[in-house]
Structure 1
C-alpha cells in the first residue's frame, strides 16, 4: 500500500515538474521577445535623434527633395 502511494506521488511530482518546465520555456520565449522589442526601440530612438548633415538637409528640403534619404545612425 505504501509503495503504491509513493509511486503515485512520484508520478504526480514528475507531472508537476514537466508542467513547470513547459511554463519556463514559454516564459523564456516571452523574455526573448521583450528583449528584442527593447533593442529595436533603443535603435529607433538612436536613429530618430541623429542630426542630419547639410547634404541630407538639402535632399530633404532643397529644391528637389528626395524620398531616398540616407539615415546615419
Structure 2
C-alpha cells in the first residue's frame, strides 16, 4: 500500500478508519448519530444546536477516530 510506504518513509504511523464509519452523520460536538442523511444534504443542525458543514464535520470525526486509535 502506497500510504504505508510513505508513512514509514517519514517516520509516521498510518491509522486506517473503517470504511463504513459514519463520519458525516455523527455530530462532532455531542456524538449523536443522525439516522439518515441523503448525499445532497451539505449542511445540517444537530439536536444539540451545533450547525455542521457535512465535509468539515466528517473531517473532524475522522481525525478524532484516528487519534483514538493511536
Structure 2 length as normaliser, TM-score?
A: 0.28
Q: Higher strand proportion, which one?
A: 2
Higher RCO structure, 1 or 2 (CA under 8 Å, sep 6+):
2
Structure 1 length as normaliser, TM-score?
A: 0.27
Q: Higher helix proportion, which one?
A: 1
Which structure's CA Rg is the greater one?
1
